[in-house]
Structure 1
Amino acid sequence: MSGDRVAGVAGADTPARLFQLLSLLQTPREWPGAELAERLGVSRRTVRRDIDRLRDLGYPVRASRGALGGYRLVAGKAMPPLVLDDEEAVAIAVGLRAGAGHAVEGVEEASVRALAKLEQVLPARLRHRVSALQIATTALTSGDGASIAPETLTVMASAAAGHERLRFAYRAGDGTQSRRLTEPYRLVSTGRRWYLVAFDIDREDWRTFRVDRVSDPFATGARFLPRELPQGDAAEYIRQSMRRGRHQSYALDVTFAAPAEFVTARLPSTLGTVEPLDANHCRLRGTVSDSIEWLAVRLAVADCDFTVSAPRELVDCVRELGARLTRASAPPARGNGPDPSPAGA
């Protein structure tokens, strides 16, 4: 990441000059060759050679001819590395940290991986700015799950990606405290909470851990060869663990008046499998252990019409919720509602 404004760099070595050239090109505009040469303090011929080097590294640089022609970085087939200045790096880190504390659906795991990579290379002075900004701001809205420190997620994500043993303190559902030494496999978001799937060294078995009950996680530095997960898929393992851990589960059967791709993108995968019925309808079936009230609300915010066939408890809950929302949206009877005039009028 380039921390300062790009200035003349006559005499700079080629790698440093390439990074500075890349930083300029990543600004969304057309750069005339003469202006790039002036900024970098080199000849236009050197600029052309450096452009060719960037192309060899996979950066899709397009050149246009004419009096107004120049160079522009365009979208390619693969995502090349980005060069960020200080302000851009801080802005991205703050945004990722703000969203990482809740299990936001859709890109939650990718966001945590990106945050872990970014914070690994942030200079100390930028880390301080990111932390100060987050402390000084408060979100008006939040997710419907427990809040989690972004540092907890990034430490876990880095340990899992690097196949490094992870030690942490854990509070069980009954309040029992323990210390765990694990081989982290994968972080999974259910839409409300984060879970860690890991092999527990002391118990010699696979375990799931609610991340909001984890404290003081740190990577030990000891590497491990990843084991094969029994279910083969971390999300499926979490789903089965939740079924075993709850006293009551429900067979879910819901039909949506929307394409399968639309519904899949808006509901957590832990609810079950979405199967297309036709181009504009699909069906969700699965076994769930979440609260009936949460299921009703979660389905309602999927942003499409749906019909619940099972379980019966969910049918009743959706009907009651719909009636309550209808009453809430109806205008109050004249003379019975609160005085609509502003206070002090």
Structure 2
Amino acid sequence: MKVAIIGGTGYGAVELIKFLNNHPYVQLEAIISHSQSGTDLASVYPHTIDAINMTMEALNISSLSKVVDLVFFATPSNVSKDLIPEFIENGVKCIDLSGDFRLNSPDEYESWYQSTAAKQSYVDQAVYGLSEIYQDEIRNAQLIANPGCYPTSTLLGLIPAIKSNIIDNQQIIIDAKTGVSGAGRSLSLNVHYSEMNENFKAYKLGEHKHIPEIEQALQWEAGVPLQVTFTPHIVPMTRGIMSTIYTNLITEKTTKEIIDLYQSYYENDPFVRVRPEGMIPSTKEVYGSNYCDIGIHVDKRTGKLTIISVIDNLVKGASGQAIQNMNILNGWDVTTGLKQIPIYP
């Protein structure tokens, strides 16, 4: 199958390129970059030299649509919504790693993203690509809205508890930390070395654009409106997300009972690993991989459930999940091209 990547110079794109290069059923036909067209990939990312000899190209939707079956969009928000409709009309399937098609409500999108929403007819076609949860919908999709990194970690951690009706849906606190690669490759004072090194800071309290995405998916699963308290932090590491989730149990459960529940829920999902009692995952243990590792603890004294969910933000939180969705879309084994053991140490 022939595929293309639009937005070829970001961290998400270079992760896609790495995984696609090792995928047995895929040929990477084109890498599209508006800012770097005519430039060899290896001159932007020297680590790809000899492995991937490709020159980035300018976008011509009409000609590209004739030679590829699927396009990955590794673009910033507010870009893909103007490009995807023409690909869809030309019969090309699309997987969008930006947020342009994740929210069902145009009002919500415009409020949180401060930009005009995509045409509603295409938003209605989009399938939310949380791979472990919406496989049936993904199989028949023309357009997949790949989830954000924080939502992937949070939702995989929370959905089994939500579906099992064991927690108070109105009392969910998410304390999440990300490495600096989540900010992208563009220059920013916020992630400047002297600003970030030996530092640890919270940001976008109550206004992070992943909040409505998390709430939307949790509402789908709970069947009732709900809100979460979400506080993101940036920490001085390159990759990784840890979401520490606090909520109140509404039924008496032990840690072992909830672990058994989670292991049963994800028993057919090879990329979600639920840890045994007393073992809490760390970000290093999923580094460079498509795994989501989950740890569970019940505090008998307070009646609270703590869920620890860790992912690599560039893989399971972006490109790896996009490849996983492509596998589901084509009826391939979900692990195809993604079987890498995490990099450790």
TM over 0.5: no
Give the TM-score normalised by structure 1: 0.24
Structure with the greater alpha carbon radius of gyration:
1
Give the TM-score normalised by structure 2: 0.24
Highest relative contact order (Cα 8 Å, sep 6+), 1 or 2?
Answer: 2
